[in-house]
Structure 1
Amino acid sequence: MRVVSLVPSLTEAVALTLPGTLVGATDWCVHPGDLDVARVGGSKYPDLDRVRALRPDLVLLNVEENRRADADALRAAGVPVRVTYPRTVAGALTELGELLAELGAPAEPSWLRAARRAWAEPPALTPARRAVVPVWRRPWVVLGGDTFAGDVLRRLGVVNAYDDHPERYPRPTLADLRARSPELVVLPDEPYRFTADDGPEAFPGVPCALLSGRHLTWYGPSLAEAPALLADQLSRPVRAG
């Protein structure tokens, strides 16, 4: 089977589990580091002519990572697509197992079994902390409810202050963020690269946890190490100044 992946986490999952299956991936697919396949542009604006030229049996996409227009265009051209949309850790583990089996994996890979074990009883903050989770600034965008990353944090003892918001990615003002009276601000380094010098200063006096965005949002081999790594990062917040 010839597969093109437009989703970095799925690129890593397929490359490690079924070497030789991938024939194309986006420019942002940097894991595993030695991946040697044709590049087809970005996740949001892939070069569909390059994708079609690779004659894939299947193209992997994700509802949040990719555009519906590209999925529709590939289908219209007769290219089979698989669109993923995990919104919980359990859903991601199930979806990964099903996808890899369909692609020909004879058994679940060791990394997926390790991920199932790691998330069976993940370490969690005690007591749980009420938090806001910005994923962008200028303008501010935060994590709402019904999201994969939100479920990751919930399982690690983080209570999302915007979990009940009608939008999955609300765009509050900074004043509204502060008015939520968070006990913790969670700042991932993807998709916006929050750092100790860019983010905490907006929340004076509030602990800010700097998290690996890859481990917070990717659903693939990184899931196996995510609980321990994220829990450690959550336990070591920084403060402005």
Structure 2
Amino acid sequence: MTRVVSLVPSLTEAVAVSLPGALVGATDWCSHPADLDVVRIGGTKNPKVDRIVRLAPDLVVANEEENRELDLAALREAGIEVLVTEVRDVPGAFRELERMLGACGADTRPRWLDEAEAAWAELPAPDRRTRAIVPIWRRPWMVLGRDTFAGDVLARLGVDNVYAGHDERYPRIPPAELRAAAPDLVVLPDEPYRFTAADGPDAFENVPCALVDGRQLTWYGPSLAEAPGRLSEALRQAACRAA
């Protein structure tokens, strides 16, 4: 069996669910599956390269956005094969997951991947479109910009990112400018920054806020199967509160 170390929480879940026993190491932030029992190798941005090398994996799976090229280069220099995924939209997530799982030793496509792809393919057309700002951090405020997986997820659910045309993928935007953009909605995920209901009125007075599970919005793995339903419900509840 291929020995795999994952540097990305969503890829960790995908490997663990699809190939039980293949995963030998994962980051401290890899929280799914809940019973995951592997060696922890540090964070996504600061993995302990020496610990990974000692695990002698056949493959390390990473992501061009989540992980630093400096760390990936160090692993390659140590003779370890590294597979780097690039995920910017929902179709790309399915392609990269299939490619990654194949490299990890999967000889068949897992059922959850078929179910996830079907869930997104069967989405009904949105009744109306909503302009939204999607913060990912505060102090300073940072939001989703152009060409992001989470932005594509929301667009397929009828939510248009106000900053989708920004030059940067994760721009820093002053609160006054965020308010001036006059969004219909603010989408507040609970990761990477753990936004709560108290964070909305602070910067977005009189604008409805949808608190969403960051795993549903930003993870590309088994959670993709339930993400359309759960995100749509969170958006619906925000709309009802605003009515």
Whether TM-score is above 0.5 comes out as yes
| 3-state SS of paired residue (2:146) | coil
User: Hey, what does 1:204 align to over in structure 2?
Assistant: 205
TM-superposed deviation, 1:125 = 4.5
User: Hey, what does 1:190 align to over in structure 2?
Assistant: 191
User: Hey, what does 1:88 align to over in structure 2?
Assistant: 89
In terms of mean alpha carbon deviation, does 93-102 or 208-217 score higher?
Answer: 93-102
* Matched AA of 2:189: P
User: Percentage identity across aligned positions?
Assistant: 64
Go from structure 1 to structure 2 and tell me whether the alpha carbon gap of 1:193 and 1:123 turns closer, same or farther (over 3 Å shift). Answer: farther
> Are 2:158 and 1:157 aligned?
yes
TM-superposed deviation, 1:12 = 0.4
| 3-state SS of paired residue (2:238) | coil
TM-superposed deviation, 1:102 = 2.4
Contact 2:61–2:100 under 8 Å retained in 1: no
User: Hey, what does 1:17 align to over in structure 2?
Assistant: 18
* Matched AA of 1:17: S
Q: How far apart are the structure 2 equivalents of 1:173 and 1:70?
A: 32
* Matched AA of 1:7: V
Q: Deviations over 1:74-105 (max 9, x none)?
A: 11111110111110000000111122122221
In terms of mean alpha carbon deviation, does 105-114 or 215-224 score higher?
Answer: 105-114
Q: How far apart are the structure 2 equivalents of 1:103 and 1:45?
A: 23
User: Hey, what does 1:73 align to over in structure 2?
Assistant: 74
| 3-state SS of paired residue (1:108) | coil
| 3-state SS of paired residue (1:185) | strand
Q: Deviations over 1:145-174 (max 9, x none)?
A: 101001001101011110100100010101
Q: Deviations over 1:2-46 (max 9, x none)?
A: 110010100000001001111111111111111111111111111
User: Hey, what does 1:169 align to over in structure 2?
Assistant: 170
TM-superposed deviation, 1:123 = 4.9
Structure 2 unmatched runs, 5+: none
Contact 2:143–2:171 under 8 Å retained in 1: yes
Q: How far apart are the structure 1 equivalents of 2:200 and 2:77?
A: 43
Q: Deviations over 1:177-218 (max 9, x none)?
A: 111110111111111111112223321111111111111000
Alignment of structure 1 residues 97-136 onto 2, 5 Å: 97-123=98-124, 125-136=126-137
Q: How far apart are the structure 2 equivalents of 1:12 and 1:123?
A: 28
Go from structure 1 to structure 2 and tell me whether the alpha carbon gap of 1:124 and 1:42 turns closer, same or farther (over 3 Å shift). Answer: farther
Moved over 3 A (4+): none
Contact 2:59–2:104 under 8 Å retained in 1: no
| 3-state SS of paired residue (1:182) | coil
Go from structure 1 to structure 2 and tell me whether the alpha carbon gap of 1:139 and 1:133 turns closer, same or farther (over 3 Å shift). Answer: same
Q: How far apart are the structure 2 equivalents of 1:22 and 1:215?
A: 22
* Matched AA of 1:158: V
Structure 1 unmatched runs, 5+: none
